A and B are shown apart, each in its own frame.
Chain A
Amino acid sequence: MTLNLCVLTPNRIVWDSEVKEIILSTNSGQIGVLPNHAPIATAVDIGILRIRLNDQWLTMALMGGFARIGNNEITVLVNDAEKSSDIDPEEAQQTLEIAEAALRKAEGKRQTIEANLALRRARTRVEAINAIS
């Protein structure tokens, strides 16, 4: 019994094939999904999605969205998604540093919130590269 996973972003389909297990980050923590999971609809936070195919784990950075799990079909709709193999470590590290600097300089509530979001996105991308386990 395998799960059918679909990861979609507005610009393209990032992933569409069968997997054995996934670990998803939601607002209320990480949830692991195995075949025959109960149907749930959940919001996905800016975080990492881990996919297991036959004892091999793949990481993907997701930038927030929704997930629907039901009947061994998982649909994840996110604003943006990147496979860890597609992220350049140097560039991700640089983006992280720029985001941290921007957060320190941010003034006003709106800028702080935006800087926070940018920081979380950058941090997720760096984590996606480091966490290959």
Chain B
Amino acid sequence: MAMAALRRESRRFVPFVSSPNPINAFRSTIAPTEEQVGLGVRSISTQVVRNRMKSVKNIQKITKAMKMVAASKLRAIQVRAENSRGLWQPFTALLGDTPSVNVKKNVIVTISSDKGLCGGINSTSVKISRALHKLNSGPDTECKYVILGEKGKAQLIRDSKKDIELIMTELQKNFLNYTQVSVVADDILKNVEFDALRIVFNKFASVVSFLPTTATVLSPEIVERESEAGGKIGDLDSYEIEGGETKSEVLQNLAEFQFSCVMFNAVLENACSEQGARMSAMDSSSRNAGDMLDRLTLTYNRTRQASITTELIEIISGASALEG
């Protein structure tokens, strides 16, 4: 009891080491603790360390909860993404996916997330979009952006503001379904002139791997041009096109349908990748917080023992001074 009272009293005289930058002071207390104790001054009080431990523990709890939320959201959306994968494969089988097509007007559709704390997926998408932009802008070709998602907008608006045609955010606020995406696709088709659309997104390969992918959708005129040139799309000619007044009308409908199907799949895959990346980011964050907590506990114990030893020394030397 007396010890506790003494300890409380002594705390008032402890010079506060950790003032302006708590992070640095933290690291520096581990070294000078020994010498400062030798000088008879308790360097850092246990109160400070305890506060820090409390905040780190809170962070660990929050990140663990975020990881579980992301895991449950991932499970829900993964099923839908896999179901939607079958949708664009027939289009690729029929029309081919030719990223190396040479066209005048390119439009890059960058799909990114609205919320942060999801690892590096948005940066990779933006990096790829910028690279595509560079590849495709030449003397007689132009390249524009259409951005979906807040994070992509924040990164691209800084240096490519004049090249951005359309920005859409908060897609995931209402439940993602095909009707909504087809309205978005319709919007893009109406407002943006293009010869080729390159959709950049993160494909969900597994819970730990997200591959940045580009899907290319060509406008109907280019499809006609390429089908005459031969190659994969040349096979299109072997099909007799029915259902509509002219071949070009059917091709136009086909291209629009292809765009909305590919967009739907891309948006779902990107949402999956976002949740998966958030899971792994929050997981490593909780593990980091755990490590920090361990180090803090060691420091706390060391500080506590040092202060007990100092008090003991004082009491004993005081008592021996009184005796003799």
A residues with a Cβ closer than 8 A to B are: 6, 8-13, 26-28, 31, 38-45, 65-66, 68, 70, 75, 77, 79
Contacts and interface: CB of A to CB of B under 8 A. Distances in A.
Nearest to B84: A10
A40 B254 contact: no
B244 A27 contact: yes
Nearest to B264: A10
Interface in B10-36: none
B87 A40 contact: no
- Interface residues on chain B, size class: 20 to 34
Contacts of A65: 257
B86 A43 contact: no
Nearest to A43: B243
A12 B244 contact: no
A41 B94 contact: yes
Contacts of B80: 11
The 5 closest A-B pairs by CB, nearest first: A43-B243, A10-B178, A42-B243, A42-B242, A26-B243
Interface stretch (B127-135, B209-217, B233-241): B233-241
Given A41-B94, A41-B236, A43-B250, A79 B178 contact: yes
B178 A41 contact: no
A79 B243 CA distance: 17
Contacts of B253: 43, 66
Nearest to A27: B243
Contact of B243 (A12, A13, A44): A44
A90 to B, nearest CB: 25
B257 A26 contact: no
Interface string B249-276: 0100110010001001000000000000
A75 B239 CA distance: 13
A39 B254 contact: no
A12 to B, nearest CB: 5
Main secondary structure of the interface of A (DSSP, over half): strand
Nearest to A13: B86
Interface in B191-248: 236, 238-244
B84 A40 contact: no
A26 B242 contact: yes
A77 B243 contact: no
Given A26-B243, A39-B238, A40-B239, A11 B257 contact: no
Contacts of B174: none
A66 B257 contact: yes
A40 B242 contact: yes
Contact of B84 (A11, A31, A66, A79): A11
A41 B264 contact: no
A130 B94 CA distance: 35
Contacts of B241: 40-42
A70 B254 contact: no
A31 B261 CA distance: 25
B80 to A, nearest CB: 7
Given A28-B242, A40-B241, A12 B83 contact: yes
A45 B250 CA distance: 12
Given A26-B242, A28-B243, A77 B84 contact: no
B318 interface: no
Contacts of A43: 242-244, 250, 253-254
10 contacts: A10-B87, A10-B264, A11-B83, A28-B244, A39-B240, A40-B240, A42-B242, A66-B254, A77-B90, A79-B178
Contacts of B86: 6, 8, 13
B206 to A, nearest CB: 22
Contacts of B250: 41-43
A70 B94 CA distance: 10
A63 B321 CA distance: 99
Contacts of B240: 38-41
Contacts of B254: 41, 43, 66
A11 B177 CA distance: 8
Among B83, B84, B242, residue most surrounded by chain A Cβ atoms (within 10 Å) = B242
B242 A77 contact: no
Contacts of B238: 39, 70
B264 A75 contact: no
